[in-house]
Amino acid sequence: MSWKARLSLLLSLALLATPVITGVQAGAANQLEIFSWWTAGGEADGLNAMFQIFKQRYPGTEIINATVAGGAGTNAKAVLKTRMQGGKPPDSFQVHGGEELTSTWVKTGFMEPITSLARSEGWLSVLPKDLVDIVSYQGEMYSVPVNVHRGNVLWYNKKIFDDNKLAAPTTWQEFFKVADALKAKGITPLALGDKNKWEAAHLFEDILAATLGPEGYRGLWSGKTSWAGAGVKQALENYAKILGYVNTDHAAGTWDSAAQMLIDGKAAMNIMGDWAAGYFTSKGWKPNVNYGFAPAPGTGGTFVVVTDTFGLPKKAPHRDQALNWLRVAGSKAGQEAFNPLKGSICARTDCDLSKFDAYLRSSAADFAKNKLIPSEVHGSAAPEDFATQFNDIVNLFVTRRNVANAQKALQAACVSAKMCRK
């Protein structure tokens, strides 16, 4: 064991010159540490609004706002993994509902169920059942959803549509007609920016939902719908055709540069989650005035859910405070304070809609009556190792448009992620 001695010699030598910084330490009893990647803009404002409500209801508790910025949550997730593996969990943390919660944290034994809390708070009657299922594993609920973003939205430049007397397409057949009309006028029909790969996967996810329908789409993740089957084949063929209508420089852009193309009048349509509405708002664009919106073609009556939730880690240092935090996050007041600022709708179906803009009101109405399905690209439908392979396969498909190869690869990824047997 003499190498240990040598090593510590080396370590002390190296550290002589450097001050040692320690991480966030669990301190006094009346603290609450909330971990998220909501560091800026409306998200941060919304989180603070929830903190205010917490402080009114449970005074005397110091809130530690542990946020990690950058990379759309990838940095935060990495920090969280380190802390959880090191046995230093925060009291509660932001996590997307679905597989990001269950396969990363629940199945691995890091979380405590909150079903009894959900019952006593009456959440089960105000949260849609489909949504409760997304945050549940083997009959127990593991986190409380605070908001919902919609993944399957078609955005369009209203002026271009009005000038050309076009209506938002509701099916892909209509989409091709509209797109041909736009193309004839020299306007790029569909804006895409897929430099980060997930954007192209996002579009494909919406096409899958349209082609397979909500039940067929759900079956992809439970093994009931085969990746090798006719439905997926048709979706890929559909996608290949749609790609004929996107901007040629899509590989240089990102989701926001695609949204910007609508604002600049360089493209007429964009299919993206409703964080795009937040982007439009930040550029001074208004719903139903500057931009129009509709469910992505073929997905009317279906709502692709991206939901942020908070859960209860085992060994949470201040468990009682953490439970109080979950009470606030699941409450009507908490969600009404958070969501208008964040630019999303409540996970609860009983929020006061007067606080939301036209787009969010329409989204909330759909949410209450549509079939809800989980987003794969945003961590809900499949485990992370499948998600990265899915992105890769779609990325390749966008260029090669080889349906058979893509289908074979998707099936193989499904097997290797242990989602389907063979």
Where on the chain is the footprint of other proteins (CB under 8 A)? 3, 6-11, 13-15, 17-23, 40-41, 68-71, 74-75, 78-79, 81-82, 85-86, 104, 108, 194-197, 248-252, 254-256, 279, 282, 383-385, 387-389, 392, 395-396, 398-400, 405, 409, 416
Q: Are 240 and 401 in contact (CB under 8 A)?
A: yes
The type of residue at 276 is A
In the complex, the smallest distance separating the C-beta of residue 160 from other proteins, rounded to whole angstroms, is 18
CB of 270 to other proteins, least distance (A): 14
First to last CA, the chain: 48
Closest approach, Cβ 1 to other proteins, in A, equals 13
Pairing of strands 111-112, 308-313: antiparallel
Closer to other proteins at the Cβ: 363 or 389?
Answer: 389
- Residue 78 CB, shortest distance to other proteins, in Å, is 4
Cβ–Cβ < 8 Å for 47, 338 = yes
- Six-digit token string for 197: 């790969």
Q: Of 9, 289, 309, 275, nearest to 131 (Cα)?
A: 309
Cβ proximity to other proteins: between 253 and 298 the closer is: 253
Kindly tell me which of 95 and 210 has the beta carbon lying closer to other proteins. Answer: 95
265 vs 285: CA distance, rounded Å? 12
CA-only gyration radius of the chain, Å = 23
Q: Distance (Å, rounded) from C-alpha 83 to C-alpha 77?
A: 10
Residue 130 Cβ vs other proteins, minimum distance, rounded to whole Å: 26
**SS3 label, residue 21:** coil
In the complex, what is the shortest distance from the CB of residue 131 to other proteins, in angstroms, rounded to a whole number?
24
Q: How far is the CB of 45 from other proteins (least distance, A)?
A: 14
Q: Which CB sits closer to other proteins, 20 or 184? A: 20
- What per-residue string of b and e applies to 19-54 under the rule 16 or more CB within 10 Å gives b? eeeeeeeeeeeeebbbbbbbeeebbbebbebbbebb
In the bound state with other proteins, the residue whose beta carbon lies nearer, of 21 and 184, is 21
β strands within 126-210, DSSP E: 136-137, 140-141, 143-145, 147-150, 153-157, 188-191
Closest separation between CB of residue 205 and other proteins, Å? 18
CB of 193 to other proteins, least distance (A): 10
CB closer to other proteins, 75 vs 170: 75
Q: 191 or 373: whose CB is closer to other proteins?
A: 191
Q: Compute CA distances 354 → 276, 350, 351, whole Å.
A: 21, 12, 9
Distance CA 176, CA 193 (A): 20
Judged by beta carbon, residue 116 or residue 416, the one nearer other proteins is 416
Q: Which is nearer to other proteins, 68 or 114 (CB)?
A: 68
Q: Are 380 and 374 in contact (CB under 8 A)?
A: yes
